[in-house]
Amino acid sequence: MKQLSLNNQRGASVTGVVLFIICLGLIARVGVGMIPAYVGDYQFTKLVAQELKKANDAKQTEKQFMSNLNQQLSINANYDSKPEEMLIFTNKTPGALAVKTQYEVESNFYGQTFIVNRFSKDVTSADAK
């Protein structure tokens, strides 16, 4: 009879397969926690850019811009935070309004462990496409 040595073993061991499945599960769980936050940020940024373009074209003040943005968000989105808490004006001149988004989104990873996504970006009228 031939003796098999460990050097001739091919394929993955049970431990290797179990560790691979655990890693895939963790990666999927992190993805489920992060992807919706990035999609929400993309949608929020596009909405802000569109409203900013409309406000600058109509030479509106920051109060009128925020009122229009609040109205659009109440119709289109479900955000826990108010736009006043998510936006910082970098230029308040009517017709040349400029804002910066600055906020964070928390999602529960497991138990009392949370994934925190922080978003900070300058938004201009040129971002509206």
pLDDT at residue 111 in the model? 84
Segments in 58-128 forming alpha helices (H): 62-76, 83-86
Chain segment 58-91, per-residue pLDDT in tens: 999 989 999 998 888 887 766 667 888 889 999 8
Chain segment 5-58, per-residue pLDDT in tens: 656 667 778 888 999 999 999 999 888 888 988 998 998 899 899 999 999 999
The yes-or-no verdict on residue 125 having pLDDT over 90 is no
User: How wide is the angle at C-alpha 66 spanned by C-alphas 63 and 71, nearest 5°?
Assistant: 130
φ and ψ at 108, to 5 degrees? -75, 125
